[in-house]
Amino acid sequence: MKNQSHKKTVLITGGSSGIGRATAKLFAARGDTVYELSRHGAGDDGVTHIDADVTRPETLAAAVERVTEERGRIDLLVCCAGMGVSGAVEFIPEADMRRQFEVNLYGTVNTVKAVLPVMRQAGAGRIVCVSSVAAVYAIPFQAYYSASKAAINAFTDALRTEIKPFGVSVCAVMPGDIATGFTDAREKTMAGEDVYQHAASAVAKMEKDERGGMPPEAVAKLIGKLADKKRVAPLYTVGLSYKALVFLKRLFPAAFASKIVGDMYR
């Protein structure tokens, strides 16, 4: 990013809870001007809330227009808005499947498309998309969530080449288990448990791991560092143990890595 010394104008989706809120508070504490976009929220000290829904591009356009009128620029966009569904692929309702992608993938795309013209015209800017280690290790009974996060990784990797000539950079961060309200908000499909009898226990194991996971501030801290780096790599993993797992995935045969995940959630 250019002109690193000035206080930044930061726009964060999903900033009313979890990783988004922790990130908003971190940048506000640094003295940056922070706007959080969400459907429900009031804003913390130093954080301005704007009502917006990432699945409704018109609300994002209005939010970006307000920010640029007030600040004249957007230096950093952090796409945190997301949700999760779990259950057997065969039985998750189509509407839930589609909403998973509407929020996680297309919500990210919609936000990037709303902000990118502002950054492109300024010749500077950074975009950070929140993905997941589940994009690398696809989790059984969370297939659509894993697929939506893998799509974010691919989207980010392609986008970085497209926007590089304009002085705008993009990367994705991949948290592992994080202790937030995301776990309790997950939409669980219980249908088909008579067929997939270990589905409930697999989801329960996953949610136990999440509740014992890292605090969202760990992800926010990394995003804070990425905002100040001169250059960024395509992907960053949060947490030493998860970094090791992602590295080892490059060495494992695909079938072996799949077996490890399967045994974890059996």
Which amino acid would we find at residue 158?
A: A
| pLDDT score for 158 | 97
pLDDT for residue 29 = 96
Each residue's pLDDT, cut to its tens digit, for the chain (266 residues) gives 444 447 999 999 999 899 999 999 999 999 999 999 998 876 678 999 999 999 999 999 999 999 999 999 999 999 999 999 988 999 999 999 999 999 999 999 999 999 999 999 999 999 999 999 999 988 888 999 999 999 999 999 999 999 999 999 999 999 988 877 676 667 767 777 778 777 666 676 766 766 667 899 999 999 999 999 999 999 999 988 888 888 888 887 778 777 777 666 66
CATH of the domain at 88: 3.40.50.720
Q: How many domains does the chain have?
A: 1
Residue 143 lies in a domain: yes
Using a pLDDT cut of 70, give the percent of the chain over it: 88
pLDDT at 212: 67
**pLDDT score at 194:** 74
| Residues annotated as part of the active site | 16, 131, 145, 149
Query: Which residues constitute the domain of residue 142?
Result: 9-264
pTM of the model: 0.89
Residue 4, in any domain of the structure: no
In a domain, 18, yes or no: yes
Distance between CA atoms of 170 and 156, rounded to whole angstroms? 7
Assigned domain for 46 exists:
yes
